[in-house]
Amino acid sequence: MTKLKLVMIGNGMAGVRTLEELLKVAPELYDITVFGAEPHPNYNRILLSPVLAGEQGFEDIVLNDLAWYRKHGIRLLLDRKVVRIDRSRRRVIAEDGSEADYDRLLIATGSTPFVLPIPGNALEGVIGYRDIADTRAMMATARTHKHAVVIGGGLLGLEAANGLRSRGMEVTVVHIADWLMERQLDRTASQLLQQSLEERGLKFLLARQTAELLDNGEGRVGAVRFKDGETIPADLVVMAAGIRPNAELAERAGLPCNRGILVNDTLQTYDPRIYAVGECASHRGTAYGLVAPLFEQARVCANHLAMLGFSRYLGSVTSTKLKVTGIELFSAGDFIGGEGT
């Protein structure tokens, strides 16, 4: 029997978990090709903060090594960014010209950091925090520079700040809201967390709006200026002010998108041959950025790629954990409350 061709764009946690689930139930159904934009096999992105903090090495966070892809006969194309989906010819084309035909396509392109649209955001020393390359850049900067500013007091921002502090930098967290992690914590809990982090040497500027990043005269960031005119020094600025679903490729291919690639309860897009999972997908108006929902999506998507067709994804109830060693923080439920809560 001729195998069907499955192509996956993206080599992250949600996509590879979908392949793992698929191989459990239909190991012989597809010839699988995976395009990964990074030069690494699948790794645990959640553990980048312990790597930054020096608690783990990069090799410790690899989930599926190259041998795993070989064992399952998966053609893995690393460092190949897909630039076009040709839906009429059922083909994907990468930046370097490599191509692959598909019978089914799985888009798992994840998300991109939101970069504040302010003057100076393209200076050297201004980075997002999403992958191994960002983590390595932060570790290298910590060896040669002193002042770090993290813009964003959510989960990712606090983990980045803690990691940079543990590498010897003076770190200030700038947050536009009145308290830290306002999407997961009430004000009281947030103040307790802030107190614990201040005891570790972190500084906080809350309810501050960043207006521009200033050049140090050599093309590198040297300071952050706020809307009220105050300026603080910064050799490194980490943008951790949120993520955006990476749906641009799907959009260019004519797939309906609205804050993510629109999918139904089977994780299928409006093109029945194309599925999407993970942070790039929008299901019932929600794009999930936590790992538990993405793994639930992976199970359902694999069920339908395997042509079993009896599983549905109805959305997830999310919870949050902070990965800063020594601070045990877990948040779940409707923390804002309201009438009848």
Give 313-326 pLDDT, tens digit per residue. 999 887 778 777 77
Distances (CA, A) of 272 to 22, 141, 296, 310: 18, 46, 20, 16
| CA distance linking residue 262 with residue 44, whole number of Å | 25
Fold agreement (4-112+244-310, 115-241): yes
Is it true that domain 4-112+244-310 has CATH number 3.30.1380.10? Answer: no
Give 219-277 pLDDT, tens digit per residue. 999 999 999 999 999 999 999 998 999 999 999 999 999 999 999 999 999 999 999 99
| CA distance linking residue 51 with residue 36, whole number of Å | 21
Assigned fold of 115-241: FAD/NAD(P)-binding domain (3.50.50)
Give 272-296 pLDDT, tens digit per residue. 999 999 999 999 999 988 888 999 9
Grade residue 340 by pLDDT with cuts at 50, 70 and 90.
confident
Grade residue 144 by pLDDT with cuts at 50, 70 and 90.
very high
Q: Find out whether 321 and 332 touch, Cβ atoms under 8 Å.
A: no
Average pLDDT over residues 96-124: 96
Q: What angle do CA 251, 252, 256 make, to 5 degrees?
A: 30
Is the pLDDT at 136 greater than 90? The verdict is: yes
**H-type helices in 26-86, by residue range?**
48-52, 66-71
Residue ranges covered by each domain of the chain:
4-112+244-310, 115-241
Q: Higher pLDDT residue, 336 or 168?
A: 168
Alpha carbon 261 to its chain centroid, in Å, reads 15
Q: What is the CA radius of gyration of the chain?
A: 21
| CA distance linking residue 76 with residue 230, whole number of Å | 49
Give 23-60 pLDDT, tens digit per residue. 999 999 999 999 999 999 999 999 999 999 999 999 99
